[in-house]
């Protein structure tokens, strides 16, 4: 397998796609449309012409992973596009997906980071669910449904190497820093589901974790343990902060202060390297996702409605 740097936000080592060489070559993740040039160049340099790519699989439909899949599919007319069944309708018609991302990032920032989002023709889309297999001829990818970061998230296990493509299920781990940071964006992060998914990943990983952000991590046990501990800790900090304020900036500050020591454990404290985490998934976005998680949980548990329960975006 080969990593192709999708160069989101013109940064190296932030977002990646992976090419699996097989009788039926497969691309895992596409990056956003703004990454299309880098991905096309990467595939061409690996010798793949327009009719050579058989499969494109995305771990979930967030735009940094799948925003470019519609336009990429146009360049590879014989490729089949695979996505979790909950994500498939939104690749066929990205209207709601784009609206949701616009709320999370702001319209201007969304467009700047990701570019436009083209639909995938529905006849080229295939839906996946837990236990499915994508056959690539001489190797295959086994599908694990791993919700938590998003309800439409899958992870993939390569039959040949045992490598497990984690998408964002464990969070973000960038090679220049080597710190695992949870990714808990709105609208549907769910901490309990995320913990369950990390445990499944731990059980199925036979060799290496392949992060979409970014690259291989061989310390499977350690990373899974840290991922579980951190997402629980982050959720608890936000829950505690909500007792004193519902101002999102204030909650994000409390979360940043409460977790600052984690970044200090990295191999560098270079602000340029640390900034990469903020580009992908800012503290404010993570705080917003966790606030929403707790609010939804209270609603489903039938708890009394919290006074002034909407976070205000001052």
Residues in touch with Zn ion (CB under 5 A):
62, 168
| CB 210 to Zn ion: min, Å | 15
**Residue 9 burial by Cβ neighbours in a 10 Å radius (0-12, 13-18, 19+):** middle
What is the rounded radius of gyration, in angstroms, for the C-alpha atoms of the chain? 19
Please report, in angstroms and rounded to a whole number, the separation of the first and last CA atoms in the chain: 45
- Residue number, nearest CB to Zn ion: 62
| CB 149 to Zn ion: min, Å | 6
Q: How far apart are CA 314 and CA 309, in angstroms?
A: 15
Residue 3 or 285 having the CB closest to Zn ion = 285
Residue 158 or 168 having the CB closest to Zn ion = 168
| CB 183 to Zn ion: min, Å | 6
Q: Using CA atoms in the order 253, 259, 262, 263, what is the torsion angle rounded to 10 degrees?
A: 0
| CB 213 to Zn ion: min, Å | 9
Entry field: residues in the chain? 314
Instruction: Bin 308: left if φ > 0, else alpha if -120 < ψ < 50, else beta.
Output: left
CA nearest to 119, candidates 33, 17, 35, 8? 33
Residue 29 or 168 having the CB closest to Zn ion = 168
Residue 140 or 276 having the CB closest to Zn ion = 276
| CB 23 to Zn ion: min, Å | 30
Task: Give the DSSP H/E element, type plus range, for residue 156.
Answer: strand 154-158
CB 155 within 8 A of CB 142: no
Residue 15 or 295 having the CB closest to Zn ion = 15
Residue 5 or 168 having the CB closest to Zn ion = 168
| CB 282 to Zn ion: min, Å | 13
Instruction: Bin 161: left if φ > 0, else alpha if -120 < ψ < 50, else beta.
Output: alpha
């Amino acid at each position: 397998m080969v990593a192709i740097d999708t160069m989101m936000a013109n940064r190296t080592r932030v977002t990646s796609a992976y090419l699996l060489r097989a009788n039926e070559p497969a691309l895992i993740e596409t990056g956003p449309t703004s990454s299309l040039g880098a991905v096309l160049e990467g595939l061409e340099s690996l010798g793949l012409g327009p009719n050579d790519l058989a499969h494109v699989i995305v771990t979930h439909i967030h735009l940094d992973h799948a925003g470019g899949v519609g336009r990429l599919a146009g360049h590879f007319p014989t490729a089949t596009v695979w996505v979790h069944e909950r994500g498939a309708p939104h690749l066929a018609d990205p209207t709601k997906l784009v609206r949701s991302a616009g709320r999370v990032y702001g319209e201007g920032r969304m467009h700047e980071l990701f570019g436009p989002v083209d639909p995938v023709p529905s006849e080229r889309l295939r839906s996946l669910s837990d236990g499915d297999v994508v056959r690539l001829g001489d190797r295959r990818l086994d599908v694990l449904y791993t919700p938590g970061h998003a309800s439409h998230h899958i992870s993939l296990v390569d039959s040949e190497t045992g490598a497990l493509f984690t998408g964002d299920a464990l969070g973000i781990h960038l090679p220049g820093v080597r710190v695992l940071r949870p990714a808990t964006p709105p609208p549907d992060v769910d901490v309990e589901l995320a913990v369950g998914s990390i445990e499944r990943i731990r059980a199925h990983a036979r060799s290496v974790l392949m992060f979409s952000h970014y690259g291989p991590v061989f310390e499977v046990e350690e990373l899974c343990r840290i991922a579980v501990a951190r997402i629980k800790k982050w959720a608890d900090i936000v829950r505690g902060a909500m007792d004193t304020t519902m101002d999102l900036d204030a909650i994000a500050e409390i979360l940043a202060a409460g977790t600052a020591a984690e970044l200090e454990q990295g191999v560098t404290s270079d602000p340029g390297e640390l900034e990469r985490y903020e580009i992908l998934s800012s503290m404010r976005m993570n705080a917003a996702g966790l606030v929403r998680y707790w609010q939804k949980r209270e609603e489903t548990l039938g708890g009394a409605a919290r006074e002034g329960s909407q976070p205000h975006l001052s």
